[in-house]
């Protein structure tokens, strides 16, 4: 694979300029050299930023699974495609070769076809992190069915809303799921959701926990007997470049979840290109991303990106704290992982525990470590860089979104010098801009603004399922002619980007715009603090004042909370400025978080305002019980 491999920083700038000057040539060559096509494109792309119309590789014909599996068989048939690391470390890991993956995906594809699933049908996949999840996703793509993976931690209500929104014809699930020391009965959650989902005709059930589940006659089918009987080869469906590949739901700041639609060729080209370059993947490396396949990170960088590159990718069923806090490090050692990709929230949780958990392991196989999902604060960055990366592995802080399909801004390992908390430079082909309130592009460096992308890229989402107008309104109205990310960013003196957080998290105090992230960074530097979140609340004179929720480490030394409050404010005063000092500080045991690790600031804002009337939908929270605890602490 070539992908215009960047050689050094000078070469990066050259290539970047080329990608801006001649985007058609740039993408044409990447698409041409790295994939197998049934038919080439007539035109590289066509777009209209006002109407949010994007077409890439027009009229090309392709199947993404031919590129993920079939074309590797001649050279890499026996190479491990997937390493499955089960929840319980005493259960043996599984190594699935590309040959075996071909057979298992073919069988599943044949089963789906036999059950009446056709090109364009929507199939909801609600499975734990087991190989069947990867196989179900790829089998859908094989026959041209549109997969809609729903994270298996979501409740029946959330599942039902997602199935109904896209009229799924089938649900693929399992009897149960293991997660840490818990066993979850997934099938019963599906049963509950389906009470209100008339579109679903069949439920295909794979076995994981072997407990008794109820099977509805005529609707529910065990997968294994059908898989055993199915033919072990399958002719892939010929897909148009712009045929939808999948729908993935992302929660909006308001309203029902948005079903982001990604199409075939552009997504394929972009995830393969970014995987290769951002992780510096080399043949025989073992790559591990700890996300769940239920999120875009898992779609793009557990499955598609790695498999398109013929990589070995780890699927981990468990959690970082089971059986103890050394699990991540143990798995890295066990499978000799070379690239490790995780989220700041996991890093912060592990950094809170004894350093012995990580220091027990040499972790010398690691070459590149990555971060994704939220701004990584300075303390977590250093902990990750020093204790996991051994100060020797480049830490790639990758900024992107469900909507972008793939990584947009990130250092390139061994090429872009890393800088704590900075996602650094856009990948070649990506044109970020910062915008001011008057909708003008802010030129120059050392500036902050709203982060937009001013030119399309291959894997930009094409629409919101069933609601194109909402797609236009959400992303293309605020700054006409540009894609608005919803994030704020800072561009430093050399042009590096630092994502400062959602623009809606900005709090204006006495006319000063304050981003939550730098203030939280300052608070988190206090030795007694594990994590913090700040929100604004109405103030007579300042307009808004700041309210901080602070989680303390388990430490007996800081019993005097008033002193602690003073010290925290002194730190903020020193690092951000006296304007950013907190009016109120509440010590809490946890923060309300979504399952992807994002703090639900909406709830914290209401508590800070003293408005306990209606917290809205808390069903997607990982820890709903914390809300009452915080509320009571307040009163």
Enumerate binding residues for ligand WT7 (CB under 6 A): 250, 296-297, 371-375, 397-402, 423, 485-487, 499, 502, 596
d(CA 572, CA 550) in angstroms, rounded, equals 13
Distance of closest approach, residue 554 Cβ to ligand WT7, in angstroms: 28
Looking at the Cβ atoms of 132 and 374, the one nearer to ligand WT7 is: 374
Tell me the two tokens of residue 55.
């077409």
Distance of closest approach, residue 447 Cβ to ligand WT7, in angstroms: 18
Distance of closest approach, residue 377 Cβ to ligand WT7, in angstroms: 10
Looking at the Cβ atoms of 264 and 371, the one nearer to ligand WT7 is: 371
Distance of closest approach, residue 296 Cβ to ligand WT7, in angstroms: 5
d(CA 461, CA 58) in angstroms, rounded, equals 16
d(CA 32, CA 10) in angstroms, rounded, equals 25
In Å, how far are 94, 96, 109, 177, 486 from 223, measured between CA atoms?
20, 19, 12, 16, 42
Looking at the Cβ atoms of 427 and 545, the one nearer to ligand WT7 is: 427
Looking at the Cβ atoms of 317 and 397, the one nearer to ligand WT7 is: 397
Question: What are the start-end ranges of the H helices in 120-198?
Answer: 131-143, 156-165, 186-194
Distance of closest approach, residue 412 Cβ to ligand WT7, in angstroms: 15
Looking at the Cβ atoms of 255 and 633, the one nearer to ligand WT7 is: 255
Q: Which residue is nearest to ligand WT7 (CB)?
A: 402
Beta-bridge mates of residue 539: 543
Looking at the Cβ atoms of 132 and 520, the one nearer to ligand WT7 is: 520
Name the one residue in this structure whose structure tokens are 């909801």: 124
Distance of closest approach, residue 421 Cβ to ligand WT7, in angstroms: 8
Distance of closest approach, residue 475 Cβ to ligand WT7, in angstroms: 11
Distance of closest approach, residue 110 Cβ to ligand WT7, in angstroms: 33
> What is the maximum span of the chain, computed from C-alpha positions, in angstroms?
73
Phi-psi region of 587 (alpha: psi -120 to 50; beta: other; left: phi over 0): beta
Distance of closest approach, residue 274 Cβ to ligand WT7, in angstroms: 11
Tell me the two tokens of residue 312.
């070995």
Tell me the two tokens of residue 516.
């939550």
> Side-chain half-sphere of 254: how many Cα atoms within 13 Å?
4
Which residues have C-beta within 8 Å of that of residue 289, sequence separation ≥ 6?
297, 298, 301, 302, 313, 314, 341, 342, 370
Q: 250 by DSSP, 3-state: which?
A: strand
Distance of closest approach, residue 302 Cβ to ligand WT7, in angstroms: 12
Which residue, 432, 426, 517, is CA-closest to 483? 432
d(CA 309, CA 282) in angstroms, rounded, equals 9
**Nearest 5°: CA angle at 621, between 314 and 373?**
45
d(CA 542, CA 171) in angstroms, rounded, equals 52
Tell me the two tokens of residue 245.
């590949």
Looking at the Cβ atoms of 19 and 371, the one nearer to ligand WT7 is: 371
d(CA 236, CA 377) in angstroms, rounded, equals 45
Sort strands 202-206 and 122-126 into parallel, antiparallel or unpaired. Answer: unpaired
Looking at the Cβ atoms of 408 and 545, the one nearer to ligand WT7 is: 408
Looking at the Cβ atoms of 165 and 487, the one nearer to ligand WT7 is: 487
Looking at the Cβ atoms of 363 and 503, the one nearer to ligand WT7 is: 503
């Amino acid at each position: 694979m070539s992908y215009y491999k960047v050689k050094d920083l000078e070469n990066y700038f050259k290539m970047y300029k080329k990608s801006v000057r001649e985007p058609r040539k740039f993408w044409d060559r990447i698409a041409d050299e790295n994939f197998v096509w049934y038919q080439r494109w007539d035109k590289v792309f066509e777009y209209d930023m006002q109407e949010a119309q994007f077409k890439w590789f027009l009229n090309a014909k392709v199947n993404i699974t031919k590129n993920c599996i079939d074309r590797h068989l001649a050279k890499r048939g026996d190479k491990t495609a997937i390493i499955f690391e089960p929840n319980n470390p005493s259960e043996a890991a599984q190594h699935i070769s590309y040959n075996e993956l071909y057979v298992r995906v073919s069988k599943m594809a044949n089963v789906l076809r036999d059950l009446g699933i056709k090109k364009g049908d929507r199939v909801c996949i609600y499975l734990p992190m087991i190989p069947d999840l990867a196989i179900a996703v790829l089998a859908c793509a094989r026959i041209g069915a549109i997969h809609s993976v729903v994270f298996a931690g979501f409740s029946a209500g959330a599942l039902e809303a997602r199935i109904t929104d896209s009229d799924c014809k089938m649900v693929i699930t399992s009897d149960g799921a293991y997660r840490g020391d818990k066993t979850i009965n997934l099938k019963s959650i599906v049963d509950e959701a389906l009470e209100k989902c008339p579109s679903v005709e069949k439920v295909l059930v794979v076995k994981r926990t072997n407990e008794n589940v109820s099977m509805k006659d005529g609707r529910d089918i065990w997968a294994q007997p059908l898989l055993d009987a199915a033919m072990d080869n399958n002719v892939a469906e010929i897909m148009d470049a712009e045929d939808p590949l999948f729908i993935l739901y992302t929660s909006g700041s308001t309203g029902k979840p948005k079903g982001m639609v990604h199409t075939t060729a552009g997504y394929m080209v972009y995830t393969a290109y970014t995987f290769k370059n951002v992780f510096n993947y080399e043949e025989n490396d073992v790559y591990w991303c700890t996300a769940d396949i239920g999120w875009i990170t898992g779609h793009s960088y557990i499955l598609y990106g790695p498999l398109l590159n013929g990589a070995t990718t780890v699927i981990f069923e468990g959690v970082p704290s089971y059986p103890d806090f050394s699990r991540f490090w143990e798995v890295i050692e066990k499978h000799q992982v070379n690239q490790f990709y995780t989220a700041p929230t996991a890093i912060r949780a592990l950094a809170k525990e004894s350093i012995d958990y990580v220091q027990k392991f040499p972790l010398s196989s690691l070459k590149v470590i990555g971060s994704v999902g939220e701004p990584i604060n300075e303390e977590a960055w250093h902990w990750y860089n020093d204790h996991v990366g051994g100060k020797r592995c480049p830490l790639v802080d990758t900024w992107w979104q469900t909507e972008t399909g793939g990584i947009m801004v990130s250092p390139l390992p061994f090429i872009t010098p890393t800088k704590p908390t900075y996602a650094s430079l856009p990948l070649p082909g990506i044109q970020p801009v910062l915008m001011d309130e008057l909708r003008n592009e802010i030129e120059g460096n050392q500036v902050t603004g709203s982060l937009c992308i001013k030119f399309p890229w291959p894997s930009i989402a094409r629409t919101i399922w069933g609601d194109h107008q909402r797609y236009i309104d959400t992303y293309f109205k605020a700054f006409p002619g540009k894609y608005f990310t919803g994030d704020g960013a800072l561009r430093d003196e050399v042009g590096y980007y630092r994502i400062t957080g959602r623009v809606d998290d900005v709090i204006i105090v006495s006319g000063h715009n304050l981003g939550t992230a730098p203030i939280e960074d300052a608070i988190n530097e206090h030795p007694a603090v594990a994590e913090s979140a700040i929100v604004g609340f109405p103030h007579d004179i300042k307009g808004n004042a700041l309210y901080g929720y602070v989680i303390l480490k388990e430490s007996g030394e800081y019993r005097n909370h008033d002193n602690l409050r003073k010290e925290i404010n002194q730190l903020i005063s020193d690092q951000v400025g006296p304007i950013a000092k907190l009016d109120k500080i509440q010590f809490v045991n946890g923060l309300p978080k979504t399952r992807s690790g994002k703090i639900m600031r909406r709830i914290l804002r209401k508590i800070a305002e003293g408005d306990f009337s209606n917290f809205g939908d808390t069903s997607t929270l990982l820890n709903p019980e914390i809300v009452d605890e915080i509320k009571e602490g307040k009163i």
